[in-house]
């Protein structure tokens, strides 16, 4: 009997299903594609590992609007840490600061306001007047402060950024990228956690005027604790958001969305995607011995080896047991050895793809050995 078309079709579909199952069995690490995000540019990274989870046009130079103020407060935080400022220090408000257009803290000309209050005015209220007041107090004028901002951008590797003011009001050569903003935000959170906590405050009252934080995610998602929103007609609606769930922190940057709701929604979509399908693990701690190496011609035969910094990896969920780590140590390490000197590497891979490679360094110094030690090791090396 001739096989019916319907029966043939069923067999064909079954064979496709079988083929798909075999393919999946050979390549079991399946990750849904990143969501479509209605923005000119975006990036989603893991804070600890630096892994880029999703991106689009992440290196496109764009006007950042008030996202600029992340760099403004970063410079101020560094001045505080270096002892050049104190939080209770008083700042006299100039006419220029008072007159700066856009979002405002409502400071008054010739009045004195503490550095701490001005930082709150920048971080929570996005006050352009507060930004200019801080810039002038730190550097004498806003132009010099912008030069300080650019110095820090270069130091952080923000190679596609240039700042001309402390506020983000648009000018021709004032630009940054989503990727650079993610680098900057990582630096703020890691270097200044005590100051970063102010980003999560939902409102701030100054001069009897209470203004809410413009970051709508602070109300929608309890894991979100920052960072900054921005808007100008040129830049569109922008947002840098950070959230921490359990021990995993993600940073999202969206630039050039259509509305305040859109920037919040798109940021939430990115964060949810990252937390749903990825996980981050600390594999090794800094300054912890991972292996001992043989040292020749030294006053010690054993050298503890480890990492200068913690090693984190971000991987698809439920694949932790599939990770592979290799410790490679150089052969014939000769004294003297300096602490921190590299003699190998730690390499981590998943399904044949390298995820991380860090230098393996000496955790202590080893001095050159005495005559007997060196003579003995010379003899042993000749026998190898």
Q: Are both 160 and 59 inside the same structural domain?
A: yes
- Provide the whole-model pTM: 0.88
pLDDT for the residue numbered 17: 36
pLDDT for the residue numbered 202: 97
Q: Are both 128 and 237 inside the same structural domain?
A: yes
pLDDT for the residue numbered 29: 79
Q: How confident is the model at residue 369 (pLDDT cuts 50, 70, 90)?
A: low
Bridge partners of residue 243, in order along the sequence: 224, 250
Give the whole-angstrom CA distance, residue 155 versus residue 74.
Answer: 13
CB count in 10 Å sphere of residue 379: 9
pLDDT for the residue numbered 371: 60
Is 7 part of any domain? no
Is 241 part of any domain? yes
Q: Are both 292 and 268 inside the same structural domain?
A: no
pLDDT for the residue numbered 302: 86
CATH number of the domain encompassing residue 64: 3.40.710.10
Q: Are both 252 and 290 inside the same structural domain?
A: no
pLDDT for the residue numbered 4: 41
Burial class (CB in 10 A: 0-12, 13-18, 19+), 364: middle
pLDDT for the residue numbered 135: 98
Q: Give the structural domain span for 290.
A: 285-383
Structurally, the chain folds into a number of domains equal to 2
Q: How confident is the model at residue 28 (pLDDT cuts 50, 70, 90)?
A: low
Structure confidence by residue, pLDDT tens digits, 105-131:
999 999 999 999 999 999 999 999 999
Q: Which residues are catalytic?
A: 66, 69, 126
**Which of 258, 278, 298 is the C-terminal boundary of a domain?**
278
Structure confidence by residue, pLDDT tens digits, 31-78:
889 999 999 999 999 999 999 999 999 999 999 999 999 999 999 999
**Which of 278, 307, 323 is the C-terminal boundary of a domain?**
278
Is 189 part of any domain? yes
Average pLDDT value for the chain? 90
Q: Are both 132 and 214 inside the same structural domain?
A: yes
Q: How confident is the model at residue 295 (pLDDT cuts 50, 70, 90)?
A: confident
Structure confidence by residue, pLDDT tens digits, 316-364:
999 999 999 999 998 888 889 899 999 999 999 999 899 999 999 999 9
Q: Are both 155 and 224 inside the same structural domain?
A: yes
CATH number of the domain encompassing residue 368: 2.60.410.10
Q: In whole angstroms, how far apart are CA 363 and each of 217, 286, 304, 374?
A: 43, 10, 6, 22
Which 8-state DSSP code applies to residue 198?
G
**Which of 242, 257, 278 is the C-terminal boundary of a domain?**
278
Q: Are both 261 and 293 inside the same structural domain?
A: no
């Amino acid at each position: 009997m001739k096989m019916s078309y319907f029966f043939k079709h069923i067999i064909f579909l079954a064979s496709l299903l079988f083929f798909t199952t075999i393919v999946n069995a050979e390549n079991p690490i399946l990750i849904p594609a990143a969501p479509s995000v209605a923005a000119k540019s975006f990036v989603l990274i893991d804070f600890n590992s630096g892994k880029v989870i999703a991106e689009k046009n992440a290196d496109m130079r764009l006007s950042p609007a008030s996202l600029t103020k992340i760099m403004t407060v970063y410079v101020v935080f560094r001045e505080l840490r270096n002892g050049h400022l104190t939080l209770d220090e008083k700042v006299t408000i100039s006419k220029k600061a008072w007159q700066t257009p856009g979002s405002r803290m409502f400071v008054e000309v010739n009045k004195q306001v503490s550095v701490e209050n001005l930082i709150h005015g920048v971080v929570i209220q996005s006050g352009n007047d507060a930004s200019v007041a801080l810039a002038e107090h730190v550097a004498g004028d806003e132009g010099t402060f912008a030069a300080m901002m650019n110095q820090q951008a270069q130091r952080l590797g923000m190679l596609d950024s240039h700042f001309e003011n402390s506020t983000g009001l648009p000018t021709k050569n004032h630009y940054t990228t989503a990727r650079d903003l993610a680098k900057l935000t990582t630096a703020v959170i890691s270097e200044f956690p005590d100051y970063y906590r102010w980003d999560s405050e939902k409102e701030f009252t100054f001069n009897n005027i209470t203004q809410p934080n413009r970051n709508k995610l602070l109300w929608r998602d309890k894991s979100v604790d920052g960072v900054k929103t921005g808007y100008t007609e040129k830049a569109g609606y922008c947002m840098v958001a950070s959230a921490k769930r359990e021990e995993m922190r993600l940073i999202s940057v969206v630039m050039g969305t259509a509305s305040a709701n859109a920037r919040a929604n798109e940021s939430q979509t990115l964060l949810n995607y990252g937390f749903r399908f990825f996980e981050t693990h600390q594999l090794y701690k800094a300054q912890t011995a991972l292996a001992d190496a043989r040292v020749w011609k030294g006053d010690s035969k054993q050298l503890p080896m480890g990492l200068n910094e913690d090693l984190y990896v971000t991987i698809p969920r439920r694949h932790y047991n599939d990770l592979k780590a290799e410790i490679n140590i150089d052969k014939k390490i000769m004294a003297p050895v300096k602490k921190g000197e590299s003699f190998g590497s730690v390499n981590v891979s998943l399904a044949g793809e390298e995820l991380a490679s860090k230098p393996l360094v000496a955790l202590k110094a080893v001095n050159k050995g005495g005559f007997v030690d060196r003579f003995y090791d010379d003899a042993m090396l000749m026998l190898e």
